[in-house]
Amino acid sequence: MPRTGRRPGRPDTRGEIVAAAARCFAEAGYDATSIRHVAADAGVDPALVRRFFGGKDELFTEVAQAVIGPGSAVAAVAQGPADQAGERLLRYFLGLLGDVHRPGPLLGLIRSAVTSQHAADVLRTFLAERVLGGIAGALQADQGALRSALVSSQLVGIAVTRYATRLAPLTAATDDELVGWIAPVLQYYLTGDHIAR
Amino acid sequence: MPRTGRRPGRPDTRGEIVAAAARCFAEAGYDATSIRHVAADAGVDPALVRRFFGGKDELFTEVAQAVIGPGSAVAAVAQGPADQAGERLLRYFLGLLGDVHRPGPLLGLIRSAVTSQHAADVLRTFLAERVLGGIAGALQADQGALRSALVSSQLVGIAVTRYATRLAPLTAATDDELVGWIAPVLQYYLTGDHIAR
């Protein structure tokens, strides 16, 4: 029978700090969030946060790691029929964004990167090293780095216009409808022919 | 011979206030900007700003109007061969964004909308009433509202990933290269066949 009334100590502390950091970055933005705020939100000592993660940049990278799940994103592209990679990646990403009226922590991460040049630098490094490189490597196509960056431009654009700006036609559309429209675009970026000019 | 050493009074005051507001929104964000800040930046009395524009929402809408140029955006879609509307719209939008290392005021507008729900509401109304509706009306295609919203998702995504997050493959690509990749996507959203699921 599971114990109740007490949260377990050690095993979840790391995860609780990351969850607290995700909340702080989403609510206050990157620049206004400090290790001290995160520690207070998680109910732990700031020194513990520093011991686990180092500084704020590393903590932001941990949040990105937990929220985006680079391994799963790359697997969505790499595993299964190649001509459905765009749809798999889009469905994975829409799942990360969550309910259109109550978006999950991914939107907070994007907000931080849009408003803080430093957060953008940290997120860019994370995306380049752990996500886009993996997707590019999974593709059997030239210009993999540019292709995966174009994919992320469309995904980030959906995050901003559907979940932040909330354009009505996008919030009214179902995930399946959006997949019908956008999956072919991601597929084109991933494996389609480049139209040279 | 033009007068020098003195800026003209009346004729440019309105434009100078809008330019000052664009700077304030871009630098401080929507929520932290007040009519008082804008007036100080423009070197005019706050009462004059209120007389010209009313409140902060209307001022933000004026900035959006000046920065985006809805008439030119709609004309880019409506005027010229229909099968090149995507390319014309993309080139117009890249022109608005400006130099990749020194982006213009459009990025500040998007930043405001990403961080302030209220700015997002104002921008959404502006886009819906003055831009997307016009583009939808210019299209000879069903689902015009959804199509123009999908177009804006890709355009906003390029703004964020190339100019704010600065993903290297996108900053390294020339405008012409990006047009080669992305114009067909905008064309598909504008006039292509919907792939039903």
Q: How far is CA A84 from the centre of its chain?
A: 21
Please determine, for residue B164, whether its predicted confidence score (pLDDT) is greater than 70.
Answer: yes
If you count residue pairs, one on A and one on B, with CB atoms under 8 Å apart, how many are there? Answer: 158
Q: Give how far B121 is from chain A: nearest CA, Å.
A: 7
- Cβ separation A181–B173 shorter than 8 A: no
- Cβ separation A152–B168 shorter than 8 A: no
B197 interface with A at CB cutoff 8 Å:
yes
Please determine, for residue B136, whether its predicted confidence score (pLDDT) is greater than 80.
Answer: yes
The overall pTM is greater than 0.90: no
Alpha carbons A165 and A167: distance in angstroms, whole number: 6
Write down the pLDDT at residue A28: 85
| Nearest partner of B67 among B98, B42, B101, B40, judged by Cα | B98
Q: Where are the alpha helices (DSSP H) in chain B?
A: 10-28, 35-42, 46-53, 56-68, 70-78, 85-97, 105-115, 117-126, 133-138, 144-158, 168-172, 175-191
pLDDT tens-digit series, residues A109-130: 888 888 888 898 888 888 888 8
Alpha carbons A122 and A113: distance in angstroms, whole number: 8
pLDDT tens-digit series, residues B28-80: 888 889 999 999 999 999 999 999 999 999 999 999 999 999 999 999 889 99
Nearest CB among B164, B173, B179 relative to A120 is that of B164
A66's tokens: 């937990």
Window 32-71 of A, Cβ < 8 Å to B: none
Chain B residues touching A160 at Cβ < 8 A:
110, 113-114, 153, 156-157, 160
Cα distances (Å, whole numbers) of residue B56 to A40, B31, B115: 35, 10, 16
What Rg, from alpha-carbon coordinates, does chain B have? 18
A111 interface with B at CB cutoff 8 Å:
yes
Task: Assign B8 a pLDDT band (cuts: 50, 70, 90).
Answer: very low
B195 interface with A at CB cutoff 8 Å:
yes
